[in-house]
Chain A
Amino acid sequence: MDEPGVSLDLARKAGYTFTLLSDPDAKAIRRYNLLHPKGGPDGHDISRPAEFLVDRTGTVRWTNFTEDIRVRARAAEMLAAAQAIN
């Protein structure tokens, strides 16, 4: 939900080299049916956490939908899912 400028700060501080996209209007979040209305701090709309691995054909090959916002997909899990795609 952050604006691009906020994401730029985050990417610089954390040293992210992957593509970091901003969805301040929750366009993609809504399209993926992940909106948590008023779920964020201060009652803002926010995304529910979710991870998808999409192959070249645009097909979803792996997903992770946590039940707890503090628990996310682990890097090793995502790497294994990616390695399973050829």
Chain B
Amino acid sequence: MPNQRANRPLWLGALFLVLAFLVGAVPFFAQIPGQQAIPWLNPLLGAVAVVFFIRGLLLAIRQPGLYRGKAAAWTLTILSSVLFLFSLFAYYASRHIPDAKAAPQMGQKAPDFELKDTSGQPVSLAQLLAAPVNSGKTGPQPKAVLLVFYRGYW
């Protein structure tokens, strides 16, 4: 086979696709600090992969004698496009939440509430601010109480 060249865009695309997958779907990588601060990293890596695959596909179509891998290029282009659209949707969905304009703001009083702790005992905010009870032990009055309304265990 004279004058054949490696279809490098396909390999580069595959590299970015693997990176996008690791960042988006593997919990270990998703927990690396900073990752959560840049939620667009996953769609961005996916978009770069799609661009490389399309480039590799065009090479394989236009110069089939020189670049091989047309079937692989089609498969990877379609696969990465689907994954890219999926990560774009996930990006949109995770930002599609109500605003917090009506929530208590800085300087306002935090509304009191009473909820059950893990042992089923009712606990109020006033109690947490005065003398918090945790695992049956009463603690000293804290400087402040941090309230975290979480959604998903991360």
Contacts and interface: CB of A to CB of B under 8 A. Distances in A.
Interface of A: 4, 7-8, 10-11, 14, 17-23, 27-29, 31-36, 39-40, 46-56, 58-63, 65, 67-74, 78, 82, 85-86
A63 B106 contact: yes
Contacts, number: 159
Interface of B: 33, 36-37, 39, 94-95, 97-100, 102-113, 115-120, 123, 125-126, 128-129, 132, 134-135, 141-154
A64 B152 CA distance: 17
A14 B153 contact: yes
A59 B117 contact: no
Main secondary structure of the interface of B (DSSP, over half): loop
Contact of B107 (A18, A34, A59, A71): A59
A52 B151 contact: no
B107 A33 contact: no
A36 B152 CA distance: 13
